[in-house]
Structure 1
Amino acid sequence: MSRMTPFASPLLLGFDAMEKTLERLAKANEGYPPYNIERVRPDAPGGDEKLRITLAVAGFSEAELDVTTEENQLIIRGRQIEQPERAYLYRGIAARQFQRVFVLADGMEVSSASLRNGLLSVDLTRPEPQRVVRKINISVSE
């Protein structure tokens, strides 16, 4: 028995990538670390759209964070290195690893990433799409 999806309609040709993206979004719904997404004003009127993702990564150093893009995904990983030589009397701050995945729209680009005061900021830009009108010639066969 096959599974029927909304994207199985013959009117939605080529939307299989969108279906896979929606499935990835449903799986990546973990709550740690907390984050904000904000719209940043463009440098010039009519400039490229800019977004900033800010994650609360207190306790992580730059070396313990990894920001990568793969296909249309922004992947942010954090892995703290355990320090066995420490003898804790109480440990309330866990050395917790994480992976946070954001699915990017077509054309979105990561422009920079910075770590300051326990906050990792990743800046994204979306260049204004160019509208292309293309005439398709019709061939006549007799």
Structure 2
Amino acid sequence: MNTIDLTPLYRNSIGFDRLASLLDSALSSNTVSSGYPPYNIEALDENRYVISLAVAGFEKSDIDITVDRDLLIIKGSKPEDENRKYLYQGIAHRTFERKFDLAEHIEVSGAEMENGLLKISLVKEIPEAMKPKEIPISDTSDAPPQSLNHQPETIDQAH
């Protein structure tokens, strides 16, 4: 198996450990996704997204949605109905698990099911401390010059 050394890319970067681990896991991943259930990822605007999964035949109670750190996990399992005798079963009701890596500051804001589609709403919420802020530049030309070692002069009045 070939490995790629990404060290030169991170020499001038600070705080990109998550990116490094994502690249490492993507390059070393031997897992094959089944492609079930099919899904779409839609950008509604700059800060809002929707993941839609085609889950026809599943009820809300058959699906679990969890967020573990920066990983969205959607699991579905349908209990088998032993009273049914299928001659042909083309509608998949098999157990599934879909995982989505969430970028920093992406939060799951809700989920709904409609017409066989599970829609998961995501929003990007950047904390105030992380937003860019403008730093004013003060004008020191109007202020009297100050020295770091300035000591007040004493006047000798005993003259």
TM-score, with structure 1 as normaliser: 0.74
Q: Which position in structure 1 is the counterpart of 2:107?
A: 109
Deviations 1:36-63 (A, max 9, x none): 111114xxxxxx7100010100011001
Are the counterparts in 2 of residues 73 and 102 from structure 1 also a CA contact under 8 Å? yes
The aligned amino acid for 1:17 is: R
Give the alignment partner of residue 43 of structure 2, picking from 35, 39, 45.
39
| Matched pairs, number | 125
Q: For the structure 1 residues 38 and 123, does the alpha-carbon distance in structure 2 shift closer, same or farther, using more than 3 Å as the test?
A: same
The aligned amino acid for 1:82 is: E
Per-residue deviation at 1:70?
Answer: 0.7
The aligned amino acid for 2:23 is: L
How far apart, in 2, do the equivalents of 1:31 and 1:22 lie?
Answer: 21
Deviations 1:49-101 (A, max 9, x none): 10001010001100111111011111111111111121222222232111111
Are the counterparts in 2 of residues 35 and 53 from structure 1 also a CA contact under 8 Å? yes
Structure 2 unaligned segments of length 5 or more: list them: 136-159
Are the counterparts in 2 of residues 28 and 100 from structure 1 also a CA contact under 8 Å? no
Deviations 1:14-57 (A, max 9, x none): 5343233235455474411111111114xxxxxx7100010100
Q: For the structure 1 residues 60 and 24, does the alpha-carbon distance in structure 2 shift closer, same or farther, using more than 3 Å as the test?
A: farther
Structure 1 unaligned segments of length 5 or more: list them: 42-47, 135-142
Taking only aligned residues, the RMSD between alpha carbons, in angstroms, comes to 2.5
Runs of 4+ residues over 3 Å off in structure 1: 12-16, 22-30
Give the alignment partner of residue 59 of structure 1, picking from 57, 60, 73.
57
Trace 1:1-142 onto structure 2 (pairs within 5 A): 4-6=4-6, 8-9=7-8, 11=11, 12=13, 14-25=15-26, 26=29, 27=31, 29-41=33-45, 49-128=47-126, 129-131=130-132
Could you say which structure has the greater relative contact order, defined with CA pairs below 8 angstroms and 6 or more residues apart?
1
SS of the residue corresponding to residue 111 of structure 1 reads: strand
Sequence identity, in percent? 38
Larger Rg: 2
How far apart, in 2, do the equivalents of 1:127 and 1:32 lie?
Answer: 30
SS of the residue corresponding to residue 89 of structure 1 reads: coil
